[in-house]
Chain A
Amino acid sequence: MSLLKISGLRKDFGGLTAVLDFGLTIAKGEIVALIGPNGAGKTTIFNLISGYLRPSGGEILFKEENIVGLKTNQICKKGIGRTFQIVKPFLGLTVIKNVMIGAFNQTDRPDLSEERSLQVLEFLDFLDKKDYPIGSLTIADRKRLELARSLATQPHLLLLDEVAAGLNPKETEEIIAMIRKINQRGVTLLMIEHVMKTITSLADRIVVINYGMKIAEGKPFEVLRDPNVVKAYLGEAYQIAENQ
């Protein structure tokens, strides 16, 4: 049984088709990277899966259940979590209270929520900063908070939107290690990424989209050599140059 099965996904914005006939199957425990040039439709796909947008057509099966039409919070309750490319922490709350909002997804008791949040923070090596206000956090810490918060909801599938963006190499290493840890805990991951290091270190499989359509899929090594993929990122000129 696949965890996530998307077929024929389509999204139109008036006259513009942002996503066309997109299909993807993800098995439990996999780490799949979704890549493509800017504007290809990657975040749109995330928004479609998480319920922020409604598909114009197609099916999204999560654990064999069609989740099209459900609201974002319902989809989270079903087990799909999502982080944002530009992090959205709750500014007026401390770190641990941010995480507690996520933990409340599984319980309605504040004491249990706090307990769970402490566990998550410990897991991500973040316990020392639990009472810090958001204003005092670095961008790397804010990304970590974004992860912690989503993790606290106990997702089966986590959608990570450019989680390594804006981080220096050392921070990128750290976050890669965190993501791997999360995956080892049993969370399936679908990541939008641009940073090559993140993709090659983590992804079991890569899916490439351009202009809203899937143009390649497979193991990292194969996909990154696929001429269509190279063309999509670098353009025709590179192709011609290579052939000469």
Chain B
Amino acid sequence: MKRDRSGAHPANSFRNVLLIFFLVLLLVLPFFLNPYLLHIMIMTFLFAYLSRNWDLIGGFAGQFFLGPVVMFGIGGYTSTLLNVHFNLSPWIGMVPGGILAAATGMALCYLSFRFGLKGIYFGLVTLTFPEILRVVVTNVGFLGGVNGVLIPFRQNSLLYFQFAGKLPYYYISFLMMLLSIYVMYRIERSRSGYYCLAIREDEEAAEALGVDTLKYKLICTGIGCFFLALGGTFHAQYLMFVSPDTFFGIAFTLEVIIRSIVGGVGTLFGPVIGSFILTPLSDISRGLLGGYRGVHLMLFGAIIIAIILYLPQGVGEWFGRVYDGFRVRFDRNVDRKATPWRRGQGAKY
């Protein structure tokens, strides 16, 4: 429901053509890739999916949420434990995982609202909570302890979400990524989407206009957490094991958030763009420079700092400005005075 959908715009159909092109490209790509590159693409899709969902909570709803790993871990562990102990298919097991994660996230959100925890204080709670879980899981034998839980590989099976080759994982993660984009697309265009923008800008003004700010924060948190957990299940089935460090460690949080920020926090494609840039970069630099321990991480740290300092709206915004510049130049229907793309203004509409 774009406001300037009056007639056929060359730019709009350009955008659609671009999207379809990428879609087709990604669909046929795997047949040309070796397993290593396939792995990189799978991780790219997975992190695009995860960042896209974190962005719903942290970027879109504006919560200073530093604990997405909790949901990831809950999802991975729940479906795995149900799989290993009760022979339950992960496709089913992911649902209780998702619900549990959503409940946890919403509880954190609600409690912080109740106790008036804002900004960095809320951030600190969400940062340390996963650490508690990590220590608990490490020390409780039933939950696998420090070595985690191994998923026994029985056979190539869609039902049990385990495959010998990488191809099925590629398409599943690709679909998950598309799903997460679609979810955000629907939310963005709904009343909830508009309300979230308002809440992020000025909560008090939003309340005075009838917006139940708590409700919408909870909705975004719940949805984001649910899907983050599903991502955990995927990763568990891809790795065929879960462990406290991978599934409750802080590194994950940073990876997810940085992709969203680099690509453009709070925007539809931002987190996806961020993942497409950073995931391959990270993997390849680790491959090239990993021999020199620490160097690829130095690069990573430097990139984070550079992006925040020089391109805080994210790479996606820069793309968007280029795209919009094109649109303003060639589209006669656009009111030039009302162009929202101005440096530092942050207007996304």
Is A136 a contact of B191 with CB atoms below 8 Å?
A: no
Is B209 a contact of A92 with CB atoms below 8 Å?
A: no
Question: B197's closest neighbor in chain A, by CB?
Answer: A93
* Chain B residues, Cβ within 8 Å of A72: 207-208
- A153 beta carbon closer than 8 Å to chain B: yes
- A211 beta carbon closer than 8 Å to chain B: no
* Chain B residues, Cβ within 8 Å of A84: 204-205, 208
* Chain B residues, Cβ within 8 Å of A82: 208
Question: A79's closest neighbor in chain B, by CB?
Answer: B210
* Total number of A residues with any Cβ neighbor in B under 8 Å: 40
* Chain B residues, Cβ within 8 Å of A131: 3, 335, 338
Which residues of B are at the interface with A, using a C-beta cutoff of 8 A?
1, 3, 189-191, 194-195, 197-198, 200-202, 204-213, 335, 337-338, 340, 342, 345-349
Query: Measured between C-beta atoms, what is the minimum distance from B191 to chain A in Å?
Result: 4
Is B205 a contact of A111 with CB atoms below 8 Å?
A: no
- A4 beta carbon closer than 8 Å to chain B: no
Is A101 a contact of B206 with CB atoms below 8 Å?
A: yes
Report if A92-B347 is in contact (Cβ < 8 Å); known contacts: A82-B208, A104-B195: yes
Query: Measured between C-beta atoms, what is the minimum distance from A132 to chain B in Å?
Result: 5
- A97 beta carbon closer than 8 Å to chain B: yes
Given contacts A81-B208, A92-B201, A104-B195, 14 further A-B contacts (CB under 8 A): A52-B204, A89-B202, A91-B201, A92-B197, A92-B346, A92-B347, A92-B349, A94-B347, A97-B194, A101-B195, A102-B209, A105-B209, A133-B338, A133-B345
Which residues of A are at the interface with B, using a C-beta cutoff of 8 A?
50, 52, 71-74, 76-77, 81-82, 84, 88-94, 96-97, 100-102, 104-105, 107-111, 113-114, 131-133, 135-136, 149-150, 153
Question: B204's closest neighbor in chain A, by CB?
Answer: A88
Is A133 a contact of B197 with CB atoms below 8 Å?
A: no
* Chain A residues, Cβ within 8 Å of B213: 73
Is B191 a contact of A110 with CB atoms below 8 Å?
A: yes
Report the Cα distance A89→B347, complex, angstroms: 13
